[in-house]
Each structure stands twice: as C-alpha cells, then as structure tokens.
Amino acid sequence: MENHLERESLSTEQQNICSMDLDTQIISKILKIINDEDKRVAFAVENVLPEVEKVVNLTVEAIKNGGFVFYIGAGTSGRLGVLDAAECPPTFSAPLDMFQGIIAGGDKALKRSVEGAEDRAEEAIRDLQRFKVKAGDVIIGIASSSTTPYVLRALEYGISVGCKTAFLFCNPSPLIPVKVDVLIAIDVGQEVITGSTRMKSGTATKMVLNMISTATMVRLGKVYGNLMVDLRAVNDKLVDRGTRIITQLTSLSYEDSRELLKKANEEVKTAIVMHVHRCNHEHATRLLAEHDGFLRPILERMPDRN
C-alpha cells in the first residue's frame, strides 16, 4: 500500500492556496471562499462525461440482462452511494435491488464513523457475497482519494467473479493502479479544508452518481420527456405530483386525474395508458410490458377501439 509521502501527492491532500488564511476571515468571506471553490466542481465533472456515459452503458445493459448495480465505498463516499441507491425506488418505481449501496462498516456507518472500516479490505468480499454479487452485475467503487483498501478489494473481487467495474475518485489519476472497465477521475483540486473530501469531492461524487442513476432510468423508459411517469404515488406529495403529471399529459381535470390514478393502483404511467387507450389496468399493464415500459411509443400508437 502507498506510504505517506505518496499520499501527499494527491491533490485532495494538498493545501488550497485560496483558503490558507480561512481561520482569519469573517463568516461572509469564509462562505464566499467555499462557494467559489464549489463553482469549480461542475466544470471538473464536465470533463469526465465521456467516462460517465460508458458507465451508464454498462448499467443499462446489465439491468436489461437481469443484473444489478452496486455502489461501494467508505465514509462520505459510501454514504453518498447508499443515498443515491435509496432514492431510486421512490423516484422511478425501480425495484429495491436495481441499485444497491454498500458502505464499509455496515448500516451503523451511515450515522457514525466506524473507525478503521475502510482499511479492512477483506470485509469488502464478505459484504459483496452477502449481497449475492455475481457475474453480469456492475460494481461502482467510490473513493475520493483513490486509495481506500476496502473499495480496491471490492473491485478486485468484482472482476474475479465476472462483474463489470467502474472506479469513481476525485484526483487526476489513481495513486494505486486499478484494472477496471471505466475510470472516472474527477479532478476537483484541493479542498477548502485540506483533506476534507466531504466537501468538493463529495459534491462531485453526488453529481456523478445522480447522473449515472438518472440517465440509466431514462434509458429504461422510466421518464417521459422530463416527467417521472414511472412514479408510484405512495405519499401525499407523490399523489399530488402524479396527479399533476396525468393532468398535463391527458388534459383531464385535477379531480378526474386523481380518480384515474386511484383506479390505476396509484401507478402514474399505467393511469395515462388507461386513459389514452380507454382500457383497464390489466390491458394497460400488458401494453407497457410489450413496449418494455416505454410510454412514448404507446402514446404515439393509435388507441385501441375494440
């Protein structure tokens, strides 16, 4: 493993000249410095879009073939992976296991730091085995520094069992060579607080994970235009949103759209098909299955009049 002198070469471990006197500044200046540095993150992410696209191609193909996507990381990186995976089911009605997040130290590490968890490389194998990772799945390792033993071992194991792999980190290049299908090296530069990768690195990581999951869901037919039509209305906010989507796409009144949503078992996409094709829930579900869940070709097809 790398020694401390090699770690010093990581940009995320170097001092940021723009915040060298941070402790002498008034609050407004501290906030301005942080905000100015955060503005650089989007441009850093823009530079890796070709690599992100490659990962999305991997995730879409894997899911279409019955595979799953696993984010794995430690600390902030792990928490962000768990967060992004957890938000996919309510947003896109995705199966709970389509995207899964694994964090070193387990669920208790979501709230509190588990000391040394990121250094216990072999636990990554046990965790992946517990999640039944197999050939055809995609493992996305996340480590801002690129050196986390837990993540590196997870990627090695994934490769050994036939997974597609990607490595997301926030330095120009990995300190330790890693053989994966896709490297996403986001050069965010130095952190405002030296080594505090929960800051710019965390922001960049969240942006890229959002891109991966969202673009994947779009390519799986869970979005129509920019509307989350695969939404399942499981709370008051989502009922309202789903009703408004139906109103927008059908020109029904809000009240009629709400009633239609109820008849469609709170499934927005199904409700829209039921209205356009004047059919029941079963027929609408069958139409969606025939078109792999994509709403657009169904709406463009002449409604059945039988």
- Inform me whether the pLDDT recorded for 304 exceeds 70: no
pLDDT band at 231 (very low <50, low <70, confident <90, very high): confident
Residue 11 pLDDT greater than 60, yes or no: yes
Question: What's the CA gap between 122 and 305, in Å, rounded?
Answer: 61
Burial class (CB in 10 A: 0-12, 13-18, 19+), 115: exposed
Range of lowest pLDDT (5-14, 35-44, 56-65): 5-14
pTM for this entry? 0.91
pLDDT band at 5 (very low <50, low <70, confident <90, very high): very low
pLDDT of residue 300: 87
Q: How far apart are CA 296 and CA 219, in angstroms?
A: 12
Using CA atoms, how far residue 130 sits from 123, 134, 214, 236, 280, in Å, is 10, 11, 26, 35, 41
236-300 fold = Helicase, Ruva Protein; domain 3 (1.10.8)
Instruction: Give the model's pLDDT for residue 34.
Output: 96
Q: List where CATH 3.40.50.10490 sits in the chain.
A: 4-219
Q: What is the mean pLDDT of residues 4-28?
A: 86
What percentage of the chain reaches a pLDDT higher than 70?
A: 97
CA dist 10 and 174 (Å) reads 9
Q: Is 118 a residue of the active site?
A: yes
pLDDT band, very low/low/confident/very high, at 8 (cuts 50, 70, 90):
confident
Q: Extract long-range pairs of 278-283: CB within 8 Å, 24+ residues apart.
A: 278/303, 278/304, 278/305, 279/304
Give mean pLDDT, residues 188-206. 94
Is the pLDDT score of 306 beyond 50?
no
Catalytic residue, candidates 13, 37, 118, 267:
118
Range list for CATH 1.10.8.1080 in the chain: 236-300
Closest CA to 20 of 37, 40, 6, 38: 37
**Strand 138-142 vs strand 182-185: parallel, antiparallel, or unpaired?**
unpaired
- Mean pLDDT, the chain, integer: 93
pLDDT surpassing 90 at residue 220: yes
Q: What is the mean pLDDT of residues 223-230?
A: 93
C-alpha radius of gyration, the chain, whole number:
22
Instruction: Report the distance separating Cα 211 and Cα 94, nearest Å.
Output: 16
Tally Cβ neighbours within 10 Å of residue 278: 13
Residues 280, 282, 284, 290, Cα dihedral to 10°: -150
Please say if the pLDDT value at position 4 is more than 80.
no
Compare 4 and 301 and report the one with higher pLDDT: 301
pLDDT surpassing 80 at residue 258 = yes
Residues 6+ apart with CB under 8 A from 264: 270, 271, 274, 281, 284
Active-site option among 51, 61, 87, 266: 87
Which residues are bridge partners to 184 per DSSP? Answer: 168
Amino acid 14: pLDDT: 86
What distance in Å separates the CA atoms of residue 15 and residue 132, rounded to the nearest whole number?
A: 41
Other beta carbons within 10 Å of 281: 15
Domain 4-219 CATH (choose: 2.40.50.140, 3.40.30.10, 3.40.50.10490, 3.10.450.40): 3.40.50.10490
pLDDT in tens, 42-71: 999 999 999 999 999 999 999 999 999 999
Task: With cut-offs at 50, 70 and 90, classify the pLDDT of residue 128.
Answer: very high
Do residues 221 and 294 make contact, with C-beta atoms less than 8 angstroms apart?
yes
When pLDDT is averaged across residues 165-189 and rounded to a whole number, the result is 95
300 flagged as catalytic: no
Residue spans of alpha helices (H) in the chain: 4-7, 27-46, 49-64, 75-92, 121-130, 149-160, 200-219, 236-250, 254-263, 268-276, 281-290, 296-300
